Structure 1
Amino acid sequence: MLKVKKAVLDYLEREETDYAILINGEWGSGKTYYWKNNLQTEINDEGYESIYVSLYGVTSLSEIGRKIFLSKMEDGLLSKLSGKLDDIGGEKINKLKEKGFELTKTLINVSDNKFGTNFKEEADLENLVDLEKSVLGFDDLERCNLPVEEIMGYINNFVEHDMIKTIIIANENEIYNPSLKQNVSSKIDIAKYFFKSEKTIEENIDEFDSKIKRIFSEYSHYKKIKEKLIGKTIEFSLTKEYCNEVIDNLISKFLDSEKNSKVEENINKKYNSFLESKKDIIIDTLYRSDKNIRSLKHGLADFKKIYSYLYENDLFDEIDDNLLIFTLAVSFEIRSGLYSKGELEKLIEYDLLYYSPSGLIYESDKNDYKEELEFIRKIINNYYQKGIDLYFSPMIFQYVMKGFLNKEELKREIKEIKEERKEIMKRREKNPKLESILNNWWNLDDSDFYSKIDDVIQNAEKGNYKLGVYPELFYNISKLAHYRVISKNLDELKEKFKDGIKVSRKKHSYDEISSISINSIETKFNLYKTNELESKYIEFCEEIKDFTLEQVEKILKKQKNKDIKEVAKLINSNPEEFFDCITSSKEYLFKPIIVYIDIDKFIENIKENKFSNEYITDLGNFLLHKYENGDLNKQYHGYEEKLCLLKERIDNYLDELENTDLKLRFYLVQRLSNSIDKITKELENNK
C-alpha cells in the first residue's frame, strides 16, 4: 500500500492540480476500507479535510451535491461536538454526534414548500459549503446509475475549474458494462461481422467478448474523458502486509459490541483468540481466493456461529483448521458470482466427504469433470495444497449459502468427521506403505517406491485392506500405469483385486463395513476420475468401484436380514421391546418382519392369553400401516406362502373362539387376520 500512499501524498503536495487521480482495483479488494482506515488520516494530517462520497446507486447529479454537503456538515458537526462536549464522556459524545448528524440529514431530506421551492431538489448544496483545502473522494464510480461521461463531467468541474483535489475509487474493468448491456442483440450481430475466425464463437468466447468491448467502447466515451480528467491511475491490490492489518481490524471487531451478554462476551474473547492464532491460515486462504475483503468479513462472521456452537458442545479441537478453511473457501466461492443457484443447491445434497487432496496437485487442467463436482474440485485445488485434508460439510455449506444452521445435523457431521479422521490416522499408522502409495508416491525414491508398491499390491490381492480403499488404490495404480511409471497388466490385476475384495469382505467386521459411505466412495471416485487416462483404464476403475460397492451392499443387506430376524423374535418373547424397536426406526416399517416369526409360538401365546388385546390391536395396526404405506411387492415377494400359513393358523384359532364369550378378543384377532389377508391379496394382484 506504500505506493498508493506515496502517490496520494505527492498529489497533495502539489500546489495547483487540474487533474484527479484514480485508485483502480477489483471489487472487494479493500479500496474503500483503505480510504476510510488509512488515507483519510493521511489526508487530514496534511491539513486537508477528506470528504467521502459513494456514487453507488446515484441517479442524479443533485444527489451527489447533497452527499457532499452532508459529508461536510457531518465532519463540521462532529468537530464542534467534540470540542464542546469533551467533559461529558466518550460514550455520550458518540451518541450525541449520531443524533446531531441524523437531525441534519432529516432536515436536508425534507421538502419545505413554505419557501416556495423544494429545498431538497433545487438547492446546489455543494455550493453552500467551503471546499477549499478539501479532498473529494468519489467511490463506486462503476456502480453509479448515471452515464459515466455525465458523472465524470460533473467531477471535472471540481477539478478543472475549482482546483479541488479529487480522488476517484473504482473498478475500471466494470465501467464498460452498463453501455455494453444496451441493445445487446444488435451489438452481437455487428461484432459477428468483424469476428473473423474458423472457430465458433463458443470455442473462442474470450476473443469475441474482447471484440465487442473494442467496437463499442466509444459508446461510453470513458477513455476520452479519462485522458482529460485523470492525471494518474494507481493500481490497488492487496499485499500480505496490508492483509495483516486488515485482518487485525476484522478480528478486533468481534470484541467491540456493547450489547453482548457475559456469555457472548466470553465466546467473543475465545473466538478473537482463536482467530489471532489462525492469522497465517486466514491470510493464506485469502491469498488463494480472489482477495475479496468483503467475502472474508462475511466468512469470519459466519464461522463465529459455527465456532460458538462447536465450542459450547466440546466438539472443536483437532479439526479446527480444516473447518475454518472450508468455511472461508465456501464464502469466497459462493460470493464470487461464478455459480448459479441451481449448481449450488446440488451441493447441499452431497454426503459428508472426507478427502485428502494431495493426489490432485498434479492433475491436468484439461480434465473434463462432472459439472456438479467442479465446485469441490476448485476448493481442493485452490485452498488445500498445504497437505490439510478437506471435510466437505453440507451443513456448513448450507449455512454460508442460506443463513440457516442445522445444529443437530452439524453435530452429527462433526462426530462422523472425527470418526473418519481417526480411521484415517489409524490407517496411516498401521499401513504407512499404503498411505505412501495413495497420497505421497511422488516424493519417494525410486527403489523405495517400487518396493512399497509391490508390497501394497500383494496385500490388496490378499484382502488385507478395508473395502473402501480398493477403488482409490486401483485408480492410483491405473494412473501410474498410464504414466508408464509401472508396468502392470491391469486386466489381470483387476481380477486379482476382485478376489482381494471378496476376501476383505469376509475378513472385516460388519461395523467396519457399515461405516463405509457408499455416496462418499462415488463422490471421491468422480473427483479422482479424469479423461487423461485411457478409456479402458477408466472402465477398469469403474468396474472395481462398482464391484466394491456391490460387496458392501451385500454385507449390509445380509446384516439387515439378520437384524430383522432378531426383531421378529421379540414379537413372541418381549412385545413391549418389539414395539419400542419398530417405533424407534422407520426402517422397520418397510421390512417383512412378520414373516420371520415362529408361527407355532405365536399361536400358542395368543391361545394362552400371553398377548393382551392391546398388543393384538397394535399388531393389526402395524400390518395395516404397512399395507397402506409400503411397497408390498418389494417387501414380501417370495414370502407369500409364509403369510398364507400364518393367516391359516390364525383363522383356525378364530374358529375356536367363535362360540366363546370372548367377543372382543374374537373381533381383534379377526382384524389381525384381515390385515394379513389384504397384504396377500395385494401381492396376488401384482403378480
Structure 2
Amino acid sequence: MNKIDTIANFLNKKSKKCLAINGSWGIGKTYLWKQVEKKLSKDKKVVYIDLFGKESYKQILEEIVVSLHGDYNKITKTTFKGLEGLVKSISGGLIDIDSDAIFSFLKKEDFYNIIVCFDNIERKSDNLSLKEILGLVNLLKEEKECNVVVIFHEEELKEQDDNLTENNKEEENEQDFNSWYQKAKEEQTKQYNSKNWYRIYKEKVIDCEITIKDNDEVAKAIIKDKVNKYTKITDEIRNIIGNIIFERYKEQCNGNLRLLYHVLEHIDYFNTQCFLLFCKYENKKTFSDALKLNYISLIFQIKKYLSTKIEENDISSNYHLYEQYLKNMFYLNKEEKYQLRRDFYQTLKIDLYYKLQNCKIEYLVGNLSDEQFVKDIENSLLKIDFYSKNGMTHFPYGFYQILLSTYTQITKKKLSDIEEKINQHYIEALVIEEFKFDLNHDYRSDIALLKLLENEKWKDYYEETKEKYKTSKYENINALINSYENIENSFYLEAIKQYNFFKREELVQLFKNNNDFCKKFFNHFSKNMVINHKFDDDLNNHLFQAYLDFLNLDENKIKKSIVLEYINSQNSVLRKLLIE
C-alpha cells in the first residue's frame, strides 16, 4: 500500500485523530493531500482551511461553520432557531454573527464524517497564535469528534520563533526593570505557546505524522502527465523530454513543486512553438543536448523572473528571447518565434561546434597534424549553416577568423564562400543587437568583428543592413520619437542606440525644426548628475554628435558659447560631451 492509500485508509477508519503532514515549501504537501482526498470514502466531507494570512481565530471558525452549513442566513433560519440574540447587525443583507457562539452550538452529529484540514500554518498572520490553532485542533478532536489534518513546514515555524525571540530581546533593552519584568512574564507565556510548539504539543494533539523529504515520484508523475499531452511525437522523444525535465528539476528546482509547475508551463510554450518542430532530427543525442541547453537557460531565466534563489550549481544564461518572453507577459511575436527556431536549429549543430572547438585545442596543444586539421575544418565548418551570435551555441567572430587563417596558411587557399557567409551573419547579428536595444550581448567586446567594419566593403554592408532594419521599423525620425510614450524615454541608455539608425544630418535638422525635442534633450542631459560610465562609449552616438553639429552651425556660434558657459559647472553628460 502506497503513502496516499495509507493516509486515506487511516482517515477513513479512524475518528478523533489528527494527522500532521510536515515538509518544506513546495515539496508537495498540498499536492499529496489533494491526492489523498480522491481516495477518501464518498461519505467523507473535507473542510479545507488555508491559514495563509489569517488574522484571527474568529475567521477560522466562520469558514468552518459556513463550509458545513452554507451562508449564515441559512444557518440561523434552519439550524439555530431561537438564537436571534447572536445576531449583532445586518448590513447589505449579510448577517454578522458571533462565530464562537454558533460554533459552540454545533453538535457532534454536525461533524460526522467531517475532516478539517488546516494548511499553511506557518503562513498565518502574527496576530493569530499557534496556541489558538492547536487549541481549535484539540477542540475539534475531543468535543466534535472529527478528524483533523494539519499541514505545515516545521523548520519555518522554528525560524519565525527564533526571530520573535530576537525581537523580544531588542524590545527588552529599551525597558526599565519593572516594565521589563512584566513584559518578560508575558513573553514567557507567548514563547511557551510558540517556541518549540511542536515538541510541546505533539504528544497531546498529533496522532500520526507524515514527513515529506523527497517528492521525486510526485515530480515524475506531474512531468509525465504534461509530456503525455504531446500526442504527435514518438515515445522515444517523449521519454527524452521527460527525462531532461526531471534532470533539470533535480538540478535547478531544489525539490520545489511550485517552481516545477511554473517551469512546465513555460517549457510547454517553447516546446510547441519551437522544439517539437525539430523532434525528427536524425541525431537524437544531439537533439537531446540542444534541448537540455535550452531548458537550462529557460529555467535560469524563470528563476530570475520569479525572484527564486539562484543555487550555486545554476548555470548563468542570458539568452535574450527567454528574457524577452518573460518580460512580454509570456509571449513572442512572429519575428521572435522565427528567430527562436533559427537559433534552436543552430544549436542542433552543437556536435559540429564541439568538433571545431576540439580541433582548435588539439591542434594547438595536442598532436593533431596539419593534414588532420584541414580535414576536420572541412568536415565541420562547411556543414554549419549560419553563424548567428544569438543562438544557444556560438563562438566569437574571432574564433572563426583564427580557424580560417590557419587553414589558409596550411593549404595556401581561402574558404571564400564560408568566410563571406560568416561575415554577413555576424554583421547582421551585430545590427540586430544594436536595433533591439534590450538584448544582453556586448558586441563591442568582439574586437575582430569591429575591425572587420574598417573594411570598406563590410562597412557598406553594415550600413545597408542598418538601413534595412530601420526602414522596416521606422519610416522617418518622427516615427521613432512617436514610438515612445514621451520623448525623454528615447534618451535612456539602451534606447538611445536607436538614433544610430539615422544620419547625423537628419538629426541636425531635428534639432533645428523641433523646438520641443531640442529643449527636452538639453534638460535631460544637462541635469546635475553623476556621469554613468556606460555613457562614455555612447558619446559617439549619432544623436550626441548631431547636437555638436547643430551647435557648430554658423547661425549658433554665440549660442554654443552660452551653452558652454551654462553647463561648465555641472557634472553632466552634456558637459562631458561639449568640454571633453
What is the TM-score when the length of structure 2 is the normalising length? 0.56
Give, in angstroms, the shift of residue 271 of structure 1.
10
Q: Distance in 1 between matches of 2:132 and 2:217?
A: 38
RMSD over aligned Cα, in angstroms?
A: 6.2
Q: Distance in 2 between matches of 1:225 and 1:336?
A: 36
Q: Which residue of 2 aligns with 1:433?
A: 359
Give, in angstroms, the shift of residue 22 of structure 1.
0.9
Local SS of the residue matching 2:208? strand
Shift in alpha-carbon separation, 1:323–1:674, aligned structure 2, 3 A: closer
Q: Is 2:156 aligned against 1:174?
A: yes
The runs of 5 or more residues in structure 1 that have no matched partner are 74-103, 192-215, 255-267, 339-374, 382-390, 439-448, 474-495, 521-544, 571-575, 593-617, 644-672
- 1:126-141 matches, within 5 Å, as 127=106, 130-141=110-121
Q: Which residue of 2 aligns with 1:417?
A: 343
Q: Which residue of 1 aligns with 2:137?
A: 155
Q: Distance in 2 between matches of 1:619 and 1:122?
A: 73
Whether the 8 Å contact between 1:109 and 1:120 is mirrored in structure 2 is no
Q: Which residue of 2 aligns with 1:6?
A: 6
2:122 to 133, 142, 146: 142
**Residue identity opposite 2:55 in structure 1:** T
Give, in angstroms, the shift of residue 11 of structure 1.
6.3
- 1:455-494 matches, within 5 Å, as none
Q: Which residue of 2 aligns with 1:451?
A: 367
Q: Which residue of 2 aligns with 1:68?
A: 64
2:261 to 297, 304, 323: 297
Q: Distance in 2 between matches of 1:68 and 1:272?
A: 49
Give, in angstroms, the shift of residue 151 of structure 1.
0.8
Give, in angstroms, the shift of residue 436 of structure 1.
7.4
- 1:386-425 matches, within 5 Å, as 392-400=318-326, 403=329, 405-407=331-333, 410-411=336-337, 413-414=339-340, 417-418=343-344, 420-421=346-347, 424-425=350-351
Q: Is 2:164 aligned against 1:164?
A: no
| 1:488-528 deviation digits (Å, cap 9, x = unpaired) | xxxxxxxx99x989999x985533653676999xxxxxxxx
Local SS of the residue matching 2:115? strand
Give, in angstroms, the shift of residue 35 of structure 1.
1.4
- 1:148-297 matches, within 5 Å, as 148-182=130-164, 184=166, 187=169, 218=192, 220-221=194-195, 222=197, 223-249=199-225, 278-288=241-251, 289-297=253-261
Q: Distance in 2 between matches of 1:311 and 1:458?
A: 33
Q: Distance in 1 between matches of 2:362 and 2:559?
A: 57
Q: Distance in 1 between matches of 2:304 and 2:140?
A: 40
Q: Which residue of 2 aligns with 1:32?
A: 30
- 1:330-409 matches, within 5 Å, as 330-332=301-303, 334-335=305-306, 337-338=308-309, 378-380=313-315, 392-400=318-326, 403=329, 405-407=331-333
Q: Distance in 1 between matches of 2:201 and 2:544?
A: 80
Q: Distance in 1 between matches of 2:206 and 2:332?
A: 51
Shift in alpha-carbon separation, 1:681–1:271, aligned structure 2, 3 A: farther
Q: Which residue of 1 aligns with 2:53?
A: 57
Shift in alpha-carbon separation, 1:412–1:434, aligned structure 2, 3 A: same
Q: Distance in 2 between matches of 1:53 and 1:635?
A: 62
**Residue identity opposite 1:136 in structure 2:** V
Q: Is 2:298 aligned against 1:327?
A: yes
Whether the 8 Å contact between 1:396 and 1:410 is mirrored in structure 2 is no
Q: Distance in 2 between matches of 1:272 and 1:114?
A: 66
Give, in angstroms, the shift of residue 172 of structure 1.
1.4
Q: Which residue of 1 aligns with 2:489?
A: none
| 1:261-285 deviation digits (Å, cap 9, x = unpaired) | xxxxxxx977999978733333333
Shift in alpha-carbon separation, 1:251–1:34, aligned structure 2, 3 A: farther
**Residue identity opposite 2:206 in structure 1:** I
**Residue identity opposite 1:27 in structure 2:** W
Identity %: 17
**Residue identity opposite 2:60 in structure 1:** I
The runs of 5 or more residues in structure 2 that have no matched partner are 89-94, 174-189, 282-286, 382-386, 434-441, 481-497, 523-537, 565-577
Local SS of the residue matching 2:117? strand
Q: Distance in 2 between matches of 1:185 and 1:22?
A: 29
Whether the 8 Å contact between 1:471 and 1:548 is mirrored in structure 2 is no
| 1:155-199 deviation digits (Å, cap 9, x = unpaired) | 1112244443222111112223544455755546999xxxxxxxx
Q: Is 2:452 aligned against 1:555?
A: yes
Whether the 8 Å contact between 2:499 and 2:542 is mirrored in structure 1 is no
Local SS of the residue matching 1:44? coil
Q: Distance in 1 between matches of 2:425 and 2:271?
A: 31
Shift in alpha-carbon separation, 1:414–1:553, aligned structure 2, 3 A: same
**Residue identity opposite 1:52 in structure 2:** Y
Whether the 8 Å contact between 2:52 and 2:120 is mirrored in structure 1 is yes
| 1:88-130 deviation digits (Å, cap 9, x = unpaired) | xxxxxxxxxxxxxxxx448569999994414543242472662
Q: Which residue of 1 aligns with 2:494?
A: none
Local SS of the residue matching 1:244? helix
Q: Is 2:21 aligned against 1:41?
A: no
**Residue identity opposite 2:110 in structure 1:** D
**Residue identity opposite 1:56 in structure 2:** F
Q: Distance in 2 between matches of 1:683 and 1:503?
A: 55
2:424 to 497, 500, 511: 511
Q: Distance in 2 between matches of 1:636 and 1:313?
A: 43
Q: Distance in 1 between matches of 2:3 and 2:37?
A: 16
Whether the 8 Å contact between 1:108 and 1:120 is mirrored in structure 2 is no
Shift in alpha-carbon separation, 1:149–1:286, aligned structure 2, 3 A: same
Q: Which residue of 2 aligns with 1:587?
A: 500
Count of equivalent residues:
443
**Residue identity opposite 1:143 in structure 2:** R
| 1:300-340 deviation digits (Å, cap 9, x = unpaired) | 334444555559999998665554554345435644643xx
Whether the 8 Å contact between 2:26 and 2:259 is mirrored in structure 1 is yes
Q: Distance in 1 between matches of 2:554 and 2:3?
A: 87
Q: Distance in 1 between matches of 2:158 and 2:507?
A: 73
- 1:509-588 matches, within 5 Å, as 509=420, 510-511=423-424, 514=427, 549-559=446-456, 562-563=459-460, 586-587=499-500
**Residue identity opposite 1:6 in structure 2:** T
Local SS of the residue matching 1:380? coil
**Residue identity opposite 2:149 in structure 1:** I
Shift in alpha-carbon separation, 1:424–1:149, aligned structure 2, 3 A: same
Q: Distance in 2 between matches of 1:136 and 1:679?
A: 81
Local SS of the residue matching 1:587? helix
Whether the 8 Å contact between 2:66 and 2:72 is mirrored in structure 1 is no
Q: Distance in 2 between matches of 1:25 and 1:315?
A: 38
Shift in alpha-carbon separation, 1:187–1:416, aligned structure 2, 3 A: farther
